[in-house]
Structure 1
Amino acid sequence: MSAATVTLTSAQEAENKRINDENERLRRKATTRRRVGLFFSYLALVLITILMVFPLIVVVLVSFTPNAITQTWPPKLIPSEFTLENYVSLFERLPIGRELLNTVVFAGAVTIISVFFDSLAAYGLSRVDFKGRGILLGVLIATMMIPAMALLIPVYKLLANMGLVNSYLGIIIPRMADVGGIFLLRQFFISIPKDLDNAARIDGAGEFRIFAQIILPNSIPAILTVGMFNFMGNWNDLLWPLIMTSKPETRTITAGLAMLTGHGSSVTPYGVVMAGALISALPLLIVFFFVQKRFVEGIAMTGMK
């Protein structure tokens, strides 16, 4: 082998080694960046989780803390003793069973009725061609800009004149449709191929049959998502039930808990209120536990459409 060949081979080996070293350096750099990114991502998730869970932990701890200790300053995060007196006092002060039933009726009825009407409106705005469809959609979206507080007194007076104060109908009727739900379902319905509609029409199907047998079965995640948002919003609603109900026969649990603050006493029984808040939150946590997969799937799919 000549000296020139040996020199060329050595140069190639040196170049290959340099390239391999550079690739290894870049790989290590990319790995380091990825690990740093993952570290900060997990750190952010942990911090957000702590911020989200911390109030729930406080509610649980205070609900088992003697009421006298909850009035001390500075407050004690971890009480020196635990008790069930707050739960006993809660059931003595409020008809919790009746108020929970009222809340289930209110939130459940509003959710079922609202999702039905929202899906019908969304079907018309997404699958049916008619003049003024875009204008109608714009008007509906514009109504979302009207502050809800501005409508409270007019709606209350209207329902009071109809004799619907302290009744299920009074708190349910104004919530029978939701523009946000209409918009979300419309966005999802648009993504469903219209070829399915045309094929059904060829087979003699009408609009309601297309809606019931084609659109709804293909929109279960979106419908569950809208329904879950609706149910949670109405379950946790305080102001509307507080205005429309003053009797235990129709009062929801949130309105009942509000009655514990500032009525006949300058001291709020925080332990009792927290016990009620925990009881109020448990049904939502149970429902979300069973539907969380479809709920998250529906949010993702609706957001991509």
Structure 2
Amino acid sequence: MKIVRYVLLLLAALSFVYPFIWMISASLSSEHGIGSLTLLPVDLTLRNYTTVFERIPLGRAFVNSLLVALVTTSLVVVLGAMVGYALARLRFRGRNAIFYLIIFTMTLPFQITLIPNYITMVKLGWVDTYFALIVPFVMNSLAVLLFRQAFAGLPQALIDAARIDGCSELRIIFQILLPNILPTVLTVTILTFMGLWNEALWPLIVIRDESTMTMPQMVTLFSVGGRADAQLGVKLAAAVMLALPILIVYLFFQKHFIRSMASSGLKD
């Protein structure tokens, strides 16, 4: 029975890993060798990657994506921790109503708010600026939820002792409590960074200046806009370069990520 279980798990893992391995292999193959579906490159070549850099400013797009993802993720962690702490440890009227309202917003697709957000960006004059890529994402419902649950699981004595020592609420949050919920901090960081790095729809709406475009937006326009000249290998090479940073981040922090997700159940 155990052998059957491991075989099924192995097959499930391979079904997830195979497409990505094939994508890397195909991006290193010549155009006529892509359709072989083998795990080894056919007619090994780096031409697909050099073509991508020749046709689009991918380096600039990478810097833009990294800047937007790092700044927004930092703000999400800071603001999410502050709101989560308030909902978990401070007593005020309407606290539960606010918490459940935040939970409700998690059920709404981001597409519903696209038009109102775009109109706001136009009114503020933020179209084609980094503000349009950062500000709409700095408040994250999932981050608030995870921080709220993590803070609720810490002993009240820890907070009381800090207050007796004269610590302010901000110092309690960032110097005393956050080091005790490091897996949650890493989970929020990874999920936020991954979501921002892969976001293509919103940049396509608010960014038209090529010098401000993010990497997913640039790769999308490159793949469907004609610059790839219908060359599948070139499109795959661009996709590999887009996915590689996320893969590296997850490989470094996967242990903390899994641990936090396994222990982030809802508590009253």
TM-score (norm 2): 0.92
1:62 corresponds to 2:26: yes
Letter in 1 for 2:188: V
1:77 corresponds to 2:26: no
Contact persistence 1:117–1:177 (CA under 8 A):
yes
Say what the alpha-carbon RMSD is for the aligned residues. 1.9
Which of 219, 228, 253 is matched with 2:181 structurally?
219
In 2, the alpha carbon distance for the partners of 1:39 and 1:138 equals 44
Residue-by-residue CA offset, 1:40-86 (whole Å, 9 max, x unaligned): 2211220121011111112112211223554xxxx321364222221
Residue-by-residue CA offset, 1:193-252 (whole Å, 9 max, x unaligned): 011111222222232222123211111111111111100111111111222222221111
User: Post-superposition, which runs of at least 4 consecutive aligned residues in structure 1 deviate over 6 A?
Assistant: none
Contact persistence 1:221–1:294 (CA under 8 A):
yes
Unaligned runs of 5+ in 1: 1-35
Which of 230, 255, 258 is matched with 1:268 structurally?
230
TM-score (norm 1): 0.81
- 1:76/1:133 CA distance change after superposition, 3 Å: same
Residue-by-residue CA offset, 1:231-290 (whole Å, 9 max, x unaligned): 011111111122222222111111111112332479632211110111122222222222
Question: Which 10-residue stretch deviates more, 195-204 or 219-228?
Answer: 195-204
Question: Which 10-residue stretch deviates more, 38-47 or 76-85?
Answer: 76-85
The aligned runs of 1:20-99 (5 Å cut-off) are: 36=1, 38-70=2-34, 75-78=35-38, 80-99=42-61
1:149 corresponds to 2:111: yes
2:210 corresponds to:
248
In 1, the alpha carbon distance for the partners of 2:80 and 2:20 equals 32
In 2, the alpha carbon distance for the partners of 1:295 and 1:106 equals 22
Contact persistence 2:228–2:235 (CA under 8 A):
no
The alpha-carbon deviation at position 132 of structure 1 amounts to 0.8
Letter in 2 for 1:233: G
Structure ID, larger Rg: 1
Aligned identity (percent) is 36
SS at match of 2:59: helix
- 1:283/1:265 CA distance change after superposition, 3 Å: closer
SS at match of 1:294: helix
SS at match of 2:71: helix
Residue-by-residue CA offset, 1:108-128 (whole Å, 9 max, x unaligned): 111111111011000000010
1:286 corresponds to 2:248: yes
Which of 62, 68, 72 is matched with 1:110 structurally?
72
Which of 153, 166, 173 is matched with 1:204 structurally?
166
Which of 72, 80, 85 is matched with 1:123 structurally?
85
Residue-by-residue CA offset, 1:161-210 (whole Å, 9 max, x unaligned): 22211111111000001001111111111000011111222222232222
Letter in 1 for 2:253: V
SS at match of 2:223: coil
In 2, the alpha carbon distance for the partners of 1:60 and 1:266 equals 17
The alpha-carbon deviation at position 295 of structure 1 amounts to 2.0
1:182 corresponds to 2:144: yes
Q: How many residues align?
A: 265
Contact persistence 1:222–1:301 (CA under 8 A):
no
Contact persistence 1:102–1:252 (CA under 8 A):
yes
Contact persistence 1:115–1:226 (CA under 8 A):
yes
